[in-house]
Amino acid sequence: MIPQDHPRAESLHTREMLVDGFRRKLVVAEGLIAHGRGEAYDYLIGERTSAVAKKAIRAAAAALLLPDKRAVLSVNGNAAALCPKEIVELSGITGAAIEVNLFYRTEEREYAIKAELERHGARNVLGVGPRASAKIPELSSERRRVDPDGIFAADTVFVPLEDGDRTEALARMGKTVITVDLNPLSRTARAAHVTIVDNLVRAMPALVHEAQALKGRDEKSLKKIVSAFDNEKNLAQSLKKIRGGI
């Protein structure tokens, strides 16, 4: 049991969720290490959702709500362990499809993640087993496989905690890429169009809340929010915060 008054209670609780996900075969060992890299940045940003991140969350919510764009939420092991409920909620609010998309693919893990999402109410989970039959160009091996009805055909992809190569490849395919990444210097953070520099466990509930708030806005006002967002500037502001500038 983690004592509630422990100064790192939240962070320890998040670790427990990932270790539990690891035991349930949703998360791979590499995912635990990736989380550690994220934690270090979280410490530096003060383990709070910054005003800078809130701006990115608003742009992300607006982009996912655009009515003429096909959006897909990509789910890996860490995301399934940390925020399955919010992924399903975000899909419900925005109409975006959900696709299981793993860097370290095994059928067993794909089905385990699908089942976890379904346990939280997801209905049509893409990308599992033979469904992942399309390929992202320029990537090698299993890392490039995606669902032809999901990420492959999407205009907008939400890829929290994604690898840099794959983010860059998705951007080159002309997709609008939204990510959540605590490291403003990662290739993913730099290649995405909207980067939310925040911990996924805080960013997801905030994104659900923002999508709910913006739902019903007309297309013009959503587009205005998206086009007013400048990712490079936003990343520079996050970095400044980490360096102690704000």
Provide the annotated binding site for ATP: 15, 37, 181-183, 187-188, 199-200
Instruction: Name the binder of 161 from ligand ATP, Mg ion, none, CB < 5-8 A by kind.
Output: ligand ATP
For 141, left (φ over 0), alpha (ψ -120 to 50), or beta? Answer: left
Which residues neighbour 36 within 8 Å (Cβ) at sequence distance 6 or greater? Answer: none
Euclidean distance between CA atoms 125 and 146, whole angstroms: 12
Instruction: Name the binder of 199 from ligand ATP, Mg ion, none, CB < 5-8 A by kind.
Output: ligand ATP
143 binds ligand ATP (CB under 6 A): no
Binding-site members are: 15, 37, 181-183, 187-188, 199-200
Site for ligand ATP (CB under 6 A): which residue of 28, 34, 214, 225?
34
Instruction: Name the binder of 181 from Mg ion, ligand ATP, none, CB < 5-8 A by kind.
Output: ligand ATP
User: CB under 8 Å, gap of 24 or more: what pairs does 178-183 form?
Assistant: 178/60, 178/63, 178/64, 180/204, 181/38, 182/37, 182/38, 182/39, 182/41, 182/42, 182/45, 183/37, 183/38, 183/41
Stretch in the footprint of Mg ion (CB under 5 A) among 23-31, 85-93, 118-126, 160-168? 160-168
CA–centroid distance for 10 within its chain: 20
Is residue 181 within 8 A of residue 78, CB to CB? The reply is no
**What is the amino acid identity at position 3?**
P
Residues 159-178 within binding reach of ligand ATP (CB under 6 A)? 161, 163-164
Site for Mg ion (CB under 5 A): which residue of 163, 171, 173, 209?
163
**Interface with Mg ion (CB under 5 A):** 163-164
**Interface with ligand ATP (CB under 6 A):** 34-35, 37-38, 41, 161, 163-164, 180-183, 186-188, 199-200
